[in-house]
A = this chain, B = another copy of it.
Amino acid sequence: MIADINSAYKELLSKTKDLAVLSTAEGIIHWDMETMMPPKAITQRSEQLALLSRIHHKLGTDPEIGRLLDAIQKNVGYHALAPEEKRNIYLINKGYLEQTALPETLVSDIAMQGAVTVNLWKKAKAKKDFSIYKADLKKLLDLSKQAADNLMKVKQSKNRYDALIDNFEPNMPSATINKTFSQLLNGLKPLIGKIEGCQNKPKTLDFTMPVESQRRIAQLLTAKLGYDTQSTSAGGRVDETEHPFTSGYYDDVRITTHYYPNNFTSAIFSVLHESGHAIYEQNLPQQWMYQPIGSPCSYGIHESQSRFYENILGRSREFWRGFLTQIQEVTPVLAAVDLDTFLYAVNRVARSKIRIEADEVTYSLHIIIRFEIERDLFADKITVDELPQVWNQKYADYMDVEISNDSEGVMQDTHWASGLYGYFPSYALGNIYDGQIIDALTKSLPNWRSQIAEGQLEPVNQWLKVNIHSRGNLADPEDLIKQATGSPLDSKYFLNYLNEKYSALYGF
């Protein structure tokens, strides 16, 4: 009987490994599409991606997986399994139920409607005309509601939106998010008020910097952070795309950035951000590679790592104390800029219209707006027709800005047009997790900031590796963060971080 369960478990892991390996292959095909593919190949590429996703769905819903899960869970030996083995079984079971809950036709309808809608969204955004893709957005939303209805049952979610959020942030219901976002909002309002009340405004770093110098700085940054792209045994790359992203897993992780000659800080902070994602993937537990527990925990935890390297570390006085002189050696452009001017400029805070350009203080407001709208969309409280008006009203209320057209409003992000609903909360959860991580890190390594100032990133890297990265997917995000920091989900730590940093910077 015990032998039985062992061989069934082994077979189950072998099937799961195929799925994980297939995902990495799909990842390469995707990465190639964004970075290397000749323009004419787009049709061939969509055929490849559609086929691989069809094969993926077929392998993922193989009834043999269901039989093996059943045999293992009913076996008397089940309770004697190690916690890691039980967690693998839990995650495989969850994935299997979710994939089998969605009929193949619905999966392919959503993929096709998503491709159509995102294409129309590009046109609509260019023409600042929401009506161009409104009808298709409705269709996509309806299909996503159907999917959410199916997923609700197997996930035992309280409502559709919870079922969707769970795809990105497992076991994090909207009620929990709502509570912590409210706390965050209450803390951000007075802070933003104080910052906006300051007379002293940061200068802009509007120098022109050759792309070649920016490439060299990117190399220095990745090397400094420990994301290896240059050695002969490297497991990483840095390439150039319109929009920066990270892809890959363990020994093949690739980040991209975009170099703007007139905005060199854009590449610096996107390289820092994507390196955070990359280091997480590279530090996943090798002994569990291709197993569910060897994968990242959640999108929010991933975002906490990218934001840690981008903001907590990458916009800190300590980091730039040593690094500013290093980049000044690369290019004469910054020779006249002192640390205070640089630091003040890269920590400029202002309420604004565009999420991806937002600073670390106001960023969460953009997310809270999207969270509330998604929640109401899936509860049928608002319609697609009402989206622009609802959007503009919330930006007036939370941001005090007037949206003059839908391209700088409801159409700014690709997510909804791509069928990604429930994804947005993860971005702000990443900030909240970071607050807790800073608190725990400071208790564990009281001198971490002065170590960074001395150019020693290793202690911080190691802390993140031990407490976050190498934990893989052993726990759902709320549990993982509690295990790592000792505290349940709480926005106060992130608010404390922001208040301390910005009161020092702006002097209030």
Contacts and interface: CB of A to CB of B under 8 A. Distances in A.
A318 interface: no
A36 B251 contact: no
B36 A237 contact: yes
B237 A40 contact: no
Contacts of A22: 48, 51
A222 B51 CA distance: 32
Nearest to A249: B44
B25 A48 contact: yes
A252 B25 contact: no
Interface string A39-70: 11101110110011001000000000000000
A58 to B, nearest CB: 10
A237 B48 contact: no
Contacts of A479: none
A38 B236 contact: yes
Most chain-B Cβ atoms within 10 A of its Cβ — which of A22, A38, A234, A290? A38
A163 to B, nearest CB: 30
Given A38-B234, A38-B236, A40-B251, 17 more contacts: A21-B44, A21-B47, A24-B47, A25-B25, A25-B29, A25-B48, A25-B52, A28-B48, A36-B237, A38-B253, A38-B254, A39-B234, A40-B234, A40-B252, A43-B251, A44-B250, A45-B252
25 contacts: A18-B51, A21-B48, A24-B44, A24-B48, A25-B25, A25-B29, A25-B48, A28-B28, A32-B32, A37-B252, A38-B229, A38-B234, A38-B235, A38-B237, A38-B251, A39-B234, A39-B235, A40-B234, A40-B235, A40-B251, A41-B235, A44-B250, A44-B251, A45-B252, A47-B290
